[in-house]
């Protein structure tokens, strides 16, 4: 079987390898999955695709350069992908990040102690 890259416009070797690894080997496979599902399969497999892959897949299905995908359609694809990404579980081995807080020190508070003692002038 020929590779996905040989059949699909906008899909380079790296993207074609990702698609093969998630079971999308032909144009028919991509058409059946659809743009967002194909993108999400790649993402769920642990790869780190950018939104350009999303546009490239849509362009491949429309048989046009990814930059020719209409702006409104690109916005729709991004919204759908972001909604699907939000449903993904947090990465394994790392807890979900908590809220970020900022602590301000008062001017007259003592500085934090150094981790290491300052070297004496004689130590040089």
pLDDT, position 90: 78
- CA angle, residues 58, 38, 54, in degrees to nearest 5: 40
Residues in the chain: 124
72-106 pLDDT, tens digit each: 999 999 999 999 999 988 767 655 555 666 666 66
- The average pLDDT across 114-123 equals 52
- The average pLDDT across 117-124 equals 53
Split at pLDDT 50, 70, 90, the class of 118 is low
15-61 pLDDT, tens digit each: 999 999 999 999 999 999 999 999 999 999 999 999 999 999 999 99
Of residues 24, 80, 26, the one with CA closest to residue 51: 80
pLDDT, position 16: 94
Q: Is the pLDDT of residue 124 over 60?
A: no
pLDDT, position 8: 87
> Coil, strand, or helix at residue 95?
coil
pLDDT, position 104: 62
CB environment 6-19: b (16+ within 10 A), e (fewer)? ebbebbeeebbebb
Q: What is the DSSP string of 18-29?
A: HHHHTT--SHHH
- Domains of the chain (ranges; CATH) run 4-86 (1.10.150.20)
């Amino acid at each position: 079987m020929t590779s996905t890259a040989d059949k699909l416009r906008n899909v380079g070797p790296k993207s074609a390898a990702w698609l093969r690894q998630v079971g999308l080997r032909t144009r028919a496979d991509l058409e059946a999955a659809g743009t967002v599902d194909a993108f999400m399969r790649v993402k769920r497999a642990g790869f780190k695709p950018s939104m350009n892959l999303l546009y490239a897949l849509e362009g491949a299905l429309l048989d046009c350069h990814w930059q020719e995908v209409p702006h409104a359609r690109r916005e729709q694809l991004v919204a759908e992908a972001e909604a699907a990404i939000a449903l993904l579980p947090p990465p394994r081995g790392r807890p979900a990040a908590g809220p970020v807080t900022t602590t301000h020190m008062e001017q007259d508070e003592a500085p934090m102690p150094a981790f290491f003692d300052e070297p004496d002038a004689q130590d040089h």
